[in-house]
Structure 1
Amino acid sequence: MKTSLKARKILFSLAVTAGLAVIISSCKKDNASTTENTTVTEADAAELTTNAIVPSSGGFAVQVNSSVTVYKTVKLSCGIAKDSSITKSSATGVSPSYNYTLSWNYLLNCSGVVPNDLTFNFTGSSKYDGPRMSSEDSCSGGFVLTGLAPTAPAYVLNTTYTRDGSQVSKIGRNYSFSSKLIIKSSDITVDKTSLKILSGTATVTISGASSSGKSFNFNGTITFNGNNKATLLLNSGASYNIQW
């Protein structure tokens, strides 16, 4: 009787051990499968685009404001190139947080002594950390500012803005990916007093690869609606509101 009871205990112990081994093995396979199948979603692309636009991440809206501020505050002479460095960061302890350092060069082009346009080029690096995504990028851009005549109702910007770097998504799963984002526009209008974007459209292309090696490519259009608002429409038909 004692021998039979002891045997049952041993069999039960072996069964429990085997069960645990199966569960652990299954978990490992599930985790491996998740890593292997990681891919960047439309939601990630929309979040990446939003962070490339909003001031709280040091995005496109800030660079538009900076370029117009240069024209209004820096003493410029026709045909003479100038350069400067701009370093900015968010206040300590805020979220999202950002910092960036850019090297700018700009040139005022004139007809005689009458300004026609102001061209900008910049390169540098930027970082941001938000509740849904963090990123570390190299960035570059080329802006052409027109509408300089006092009678022109608004400034107009022709822009190319690029961010190239690595990100960690915090949407659902924490996973990393690399990306290149390009925003191009030819009709961004800016208020001459508030220096805020009034209207305009831009194309956006986003490409890269997830940490599992899966490539991705998204395209869309950004419509600036004024009042610190924009709409991102991806080619799939999905629409996202951007506000800052």
Structure 2
Amino acid sequence: MKHNQAKKMLLLLSLLGITFSFISCSASDEEQTAEEAQISEEEAAESLALAISPKSNGVVQLSIQASLNIEASLDVTYECNQEYTNSYQLDYNGAALSYIAAYNWAWQLNCSDNILLDCALALKGTTEYESQRMNSDGDMTATVGISNLEQSEPNYSLTMDYTLISEQVSRVRMQKSFDSTIKVNGDVSLMKENQKLTGGQVEASFTGLSSTGNTYEYSGVVVFNGDNTATLTMQSGNTYAISW
């Protein structure tokens, strides 16, 4: 009788052992999956850098196109306080990065008593890029205000508010995928002579939704150095160099 009870107890403990082992393994797998799906600051910073760089049709490129729109408007007779539109389709293939973009600009020259004050532009479109480390496919919107339109002023002053909502896939390590919303807003200075960014500062934020449903938020400040480079300083204090 005792022998049978011992056998039953051993069987029960064995079953419990298997059950505990299975639960432990399952929890470990879940923890590993959650860890693999985490969006790191480095990945957020790279996404922000690509949203800035002209190589990936980022904010710098859009600033240049906005200024070219204004120059075209000033070269032709446009009515003040009248909205105009045009569209762009861009296709670039480089060794390290390629992108496709299609979007529409709407703009108008703001005047008072026939005196030109500034220009307001609005953008809406799609953009897709592939880099060595990240792919992105999304929708973008932006508003840009441009002042210092007088011929005596060597630089345009641009105030921008940019949003990119996209699906992203990392091409390194675990090749994780996530949805992201990137916002960039601030002021930059653009040389009229050659459309070169001479300086300025913008705030940049990243909100990512991982494949496990968790949200990750990062933010930082981008300072444009005037030599085709910029420095992204994240809220953590870590810095990342951007060049084009």
Q: TM-score range by the shorter chain?
A: 0.7 to 0.9
Aligned counterpart, 2:71? 72
The 5-angstrom pairing of residues 192-231 of structure 1 reads 192-231=192-231
For 2:33 and 2:67, the matched residues in 1 are separated by 45
For 1:207 and 1:173, the matched residues in 2 are separated by 20
Deviation at 1:33, TM superposition (A): 4.2
State the AA in 2 paired with 1:139: M
For the 8 Å contact 2:106–2:121, the answer to whether it is kept is yes
Aligned counterpart, 1:59? 58
> What secondary structure is seen at the aligned counterpart in 2 of 1:107?
strand
Deviation at 1:132, TM superposition (A): 0.6
Identity %: 27
The 5-angstrom pairing of residues 49-198 of structure 1 reads 49-74=48-73, 75=76, 76-91=78-93, 94-185=95-186, 187-198=187-198
Structure 1 gap segments, 5+ residues each = 1-21
Aligned counterpart, 2:32? 34
Aligned counterpart, 1:240? 240
Dislocated runs of 4+, deviation >4 Å: 28-33
For 1:64 and 1:81, the matched residues in 2 are separated by 19
> What secondary structure is seen at the aligned counterpart in 2 of 1:213?
coil
For 1:104 and 1:70, the matched residues in 2 are separated by 9
Deviation at 1:127, TM superposition (A): 0.3
State the AA in 1 paired with 2:84: K
For 2:91 and 2:208, the matched residues in 1 are separated by 27
RMSD: 1.9
Deviation at 1:208, TM superposition (A): 2.1
The TM-score normalised by the length of structure 1 is: 0.84
For 1:198 and 1:155, the matched residues in 2 are separated by 10
Deviation at 1:113, TM superposition (A): 2.1
> What secondary structure is seen at the aligned counterpart in 2 of 1:226?
coil
For the 8 Å contact 1:88–1:99, the answer to whether it is kept is yes
